[in-house]
Chains A and B, each alone.
Chain A
Amino acid sequence: MRLHIFILILCSFYGTSAQSISANSGWNANVSSSEISDAGLDYNGTYQSSQTETYVTASGFNIFRNYYVYVEKSELDWNSNLILSARRTGNGSGGWFGSISGGTNYIPLSNSSQLFYYGGIGFSNSRSNVPIQYQIEGLSVLLPAKTYTISVIYTVSD
């Protein structure tokens, strides 16, 4: 007796998804010379953005999936003495039973992707408007006066 096997490949409603992530803006850090309090002194070395400099939204999830947001930097015109860090300053908004963890302390960004924050998406398709703050260490008058540029890359997966 011949056995006829039908293989059905189904794209599960829970299994296939196309996540997307959006970061609404970067940061133009225009340091003022008034940051130096008196002649003879250097910068205090650390410069911070507002606590809500960037809002990150991860979307396109199926309900009750987990999400992971990664972050990395790519130096375009940068100085190795400058250290860029980022932290999460709020939870943003998500669905019922959604959660968010990690990323509340500054993490220095590297050229390879590292986990920033994560959680359960809950009864929703997204985790929206998570506020991000940046910090740059290593400011000094010893560095040439110019504009330094770096990109921050957010990646999301489930």
Chain B
Amino acid sequence: MRYLVVFLFFSSTIYGQSTVMINLTLPSVAKMDVEPNKNGFNLALTAPSEAGNGITNQTTNSSKWINFTSAVTPGYTRAISANYSGTALSGLDIIMEIASHSGGGAGARGNSVSSIILSNSSQTIISGIGGAYTGNGINNGYNLTYSLDVTDFSLLRNASKSLTVVFTMSDN
């Protein structure tokens, strides 16, 4: 009797696997500043050159821009408000005009009101800000134009006053 012995070698592989988790947390972000700087500026009324005329010559200032970066949790938006601190000006209103956003940036940069009369009370000037950034520096974001409006000529005095304008970015 003959015997044939056959050896079969086989190779088997059992794959191993390991899993790790990666969590990326993006925070809520609210950064805002005024460009090109926070330096003050002057608004002045010029006396009329002809007796009997009212005040028509006045200075305006359009040098300031609001820049911001905003990241919000789902479903939330932000707004920016403005007020001034200091003593009100007798016979004068301070008008702030807010242009639509321009320049660089992306996202839900919100919408501005056309103008407000600044007061001690906070007023919303930009609303509906979501995840967005405006770009940095002048010519980016929202341009502000300040001017004076004579409301009561009889109260005007030869005087100078300083006010501080406060901007606040807050969650809705």
Partner-B contacts on A (CB < 8 A): 1-12, 14-23, 25-33, 36, 38-42, 47, 54, 56, 58, 60, 74, 82, 84, 134, 136, 139-158
Stretch of B81-89, B117-125, B131-139, B154-162 that contacts chain A: B131-139
- Once A41-B133, A145-B28, A146-B74 are accepted as A-B contacts, the answer to whether A7 and B22 lie under 8 Å apart by CB is no
- Once A9-B10, A141-B29, A145-B26 are accepted as A-B contacts, the answer to whether A155 and B15 lie under 8 Å apart by CB is yes
Contact B69 A141 (CB under 8 A): yes
Which of the four size classes fits the interface of chain B? 35 or more
Partner-A contacts on B (CB < 8 A): 1-29, 31-33, 35, 67-74, 105-107, 131-137, 140-141
Cα–Cα distance between A34 and B107 once the two chains are bound (Å): 20
Contact for B2 among A4, A7, A28, A54, CB less than 8 A: A4
Contact for B6 among A5, A19, A155, CB less than 8 A: A5
Contact A39 B136 (CB under 8 A): yes
Interface of A is mostly: strand
On chain A, the residues within 8 Å of B135 by CB distance are 40-41
- Once A15-B9, A28-B23, A139-B26 are accepted as A-B contacts, the answer to whether A145 and B18 lie under 8 Å apart by CB is no
Cα–Cα distance between A62 and B56 once the two chains are bound (Å): 95
- Once A15-B9, A141-B131, A142-B107 are accepted as A-B contacts, the answer to whether A36 and B20 lie under 8 Å apart by CB is no
Contact B29 A152 (CB under 8 A): no
On chain B, the residues within 8 Å of A6 by CB distance are 3-6
- Once A6-B6, A21-B16, A33-B27 are accepted as A-B contacts, the answer to whether A84 and B22 lie under 8 Å apart by CB is yes
Residue of A nearest to B169 (CB): A39
Residue of B nearest to A82 (CB): B24
- Once A142-B106, A145-B73 are accepted as A-B contacts, the answer to whether A40 and B68 lie under 8 Å apart by CB is yes
On chain B, the residues within 8 Å of A27 by CB distance are 20, 22-23
Contact for B22 among A15, A22, A141, A151, CB less than 8 A: A151
Contact B26 A143 (CB under 8 A): yes
Contact B136 A41 (CB under 8 A): yes
- Once A9-B10, A141-B69 are accepted as A-B contacts, the answer to whether A148 and B15 lie under 8 Å apart by CB is no
Cα–Cα distance between A111 and B131 once the two chains are bound (Å): 28
Contact B23 A19 (CB under 8 A): no
Cα–Cα distance between A16 and B135 once the two chains are bound (Å): 61
On chain A, the residues within 8 Å of B22 by CB distance are 26-29, 84, 134, 149-152
On chain A, the residues within 8 Å of B137 by CB distance are 40
Contact for B20 among A1, A12, A30, A151, CB less than 8 A: A151
Cα–Cα distance between A36 and B12 once the two chains are bound (Å): 53
On chain A, the residues within 8 Å of B14 by CB distance are 17-19
Contact A31 B69 (CB under 8 A): no
Contact A36 B10 (CB under 8 A): no
Residue of A nearest to B20 (CB): A26
Residue of A nearest to B133 (CB): A42
Give, as a whole number of angstroms, the nearest-CB distance from B133 to chain A.
5
Cα–Cα distance between A21 and B4 once the two chains are bound (Å): 41
